[in-house]
Structure 1
Amino acid sequence: MNDIYRIYHNDIGIAFQWKKDVEAGFTETIQVVFRNTGFYLDYKEVKEFYNKAKVAHHLQQCEGCAKKGKCSSYLLQTPTDKVDLAVTKKELNSITDLLKGTLFQIELNGYINEICKN
């Protein structure tokens, strides 16, 4: 954990930046890890992922699912066009919180850094 700058974490995962990347000037890359899967994303992609998680809450089922409401899985699209995830409602809630908390912390840090310049 000494090799990272933790941005946000919860019961399902963590969002962080590698210290070596930040020190080398690569501050745009954020790693979001949950369910044994890691995503290297920039701010725009984290925001897109968060918006897709909100959409998944409203869809409440996989499109074309034969179980129609009896299934506990939600289809969560990712910022990567070729990867979608099937998650439970609890996982979807936790992933949504992870992404929302990450966005909040990044925006707060940016705001504080801007104020400190003055």
Structure 2
Amino acid sequence: MNTVDKIYSNEVGMSFYWTRERKTLLPKIQLVFRNTGFLLSLNELKDFSSFCASSLSTQNCNACKAHSSCKTFLLRTPSDKIDLAVSSEELIQIQELINGTIFRIEMKQWITSLCLN
């Protein structure tokens, strides 16, 4: 039976590795939010984080009263054929989920390499 090894979660979603008998099945990270799942490498996660930052910088909706709920941001994903329409709040939460995941993965890699030395 496959289980998960949770990496990180927040209000919008979570990230994890698929495992079987406590061993990681794939070196890719499952990122799930808004009923959507992405199976990504660490480099793809970093690209996704950049796409979030780009989307945030392209629109300035602060003067709009509905800016937090309006889905005016088009978020590019690591898949060339998929973009997501998200609100500014969702975009911030998605970016935080991605960055938290990257941080935890890199911290674990650093600690593991430190322990090997």
TM-score, normalising length: structure 1: 0.84
1:117 is displaced (CA, Å) by 0.7
Relative to 1, partners in 2 of residues 1:10 and 1:116: Cα closer, same or farther, differing over 3 Å? same
In structure 1, stretches of 5+ residues that fail to align are 62-68
Q: Distance in 2 between matches of 1:22 and 1:112?
A: 19
What root-mean-square deviation, in Å, do the aligned CA atoms of Structure 1 and Structure 2 show? 2.1
1:19 is displaced (CA, Å) by 1.2
Q: How many residues align?
A: 109
Identity %: 39
Q: Distance in 1 between matches of 2:24 and 2:73?
A: 38
Who is 1:38 aligned against?
37
Post-superposition, which runs of at least 4 consecutive aligned residues in structure 1 deviate over 4 A?
Answer: none
Which one-letter code corresponds to 2:13 in the other structure?
A: G
Who is 2:94 aligned against?
95
**What secondary structure is seen at the aligned counterpart in 1 of 2:79?**
coil
Match runs of 1:1-118 below 5 Å: 3-20=3-20, 23=23, 26=26, 28-60=27-59, 72=70, 73-118=72-117
**What secondary structure is seen at the aligned counterpart in 1 of 2:78?**
coil
The answer to whether the Cα contact below 8 Å between 2:17 and 2:29 also exists between their aligned partners in 1 is: yes
Q: Distance in 1 between matches of 2:85 and 2:22?
A: 32
Q: Distance in 2 between matches of 1:83 and 1:92?
A: 15
Q: Distance in 1 between matches of 2:77 and 2:4?
A: 24
TM-score, normalising length: structure 2: 0.85
In structure 2, stretches of 5+ residues that fail to align are none
Q: Distance in 1 between matches of 2:109 and 2:93?
A: 24
Q: Distance in 2 between matches of 1:107 and 1:114?
A: 10
Q: Distance in 2 between matches of 1:89 and 1:38?
A: 20
